[in-house]
């Protein structure tokens, strides 16, 4: 199994005085944005649930897993 590309830190903080904190990863940020779109758009939400059922993803995890699939695609497109 290969390592997941996280895209690095999305909102790192820290200066020369304060400690470095990488914050959330870019992958997490992209997934959160994708999930927000899926939740607020009934058509996308319905599609997500249908697709999750087709591949056997439990409904309680469907939005999260589909969101990370979108995030991974965004990171791949960003790298090309």
Would the pTM count as exceeding 0.95?
no
Write down the residue that tokens 């897993």 correspond to: 65
Closest CA to 72 of 43, 38, 39, 29: 29
Give the span between the Cα atoms of 74 and 68, in whole angstroms: 10
Q: Worst-scoring range by mean pLDDT, 26-30, 45-49, 54-58, 64-68?
A: 45-49
Contact (Cβ atoms closer than 8 angstroms) between residue 12 and residue 21: yes
Encode pLDDT of 42-58 as tens digits.
Answer: 877 788 788 888 888 88
Question: Could you tell me if 38 and 66 are in contact, meaning their C-beta atoms sit under 8 angstroms apart?
Answer: yes
Handedness of CA 64, 39, 51, 2 (dihedral sign): negative
């Amino acid at each position: 199994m290969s390592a997941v590309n996280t895209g690095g830190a999305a909102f790192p903080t820290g200066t020369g005085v304060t400690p470095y904190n990488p914050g959330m990863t870019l992958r997490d940020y992209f997934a959160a944005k994708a999930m927000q779109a899926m939740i607020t758009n009934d058509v996308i939400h319905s599609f997500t649930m249908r697709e999750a059922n087709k591949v056997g993803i439990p409904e309680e995890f469907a939005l999260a897993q589909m969101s990370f699939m979108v995030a991974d695609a965004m990171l791949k497109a960003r790298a090309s």
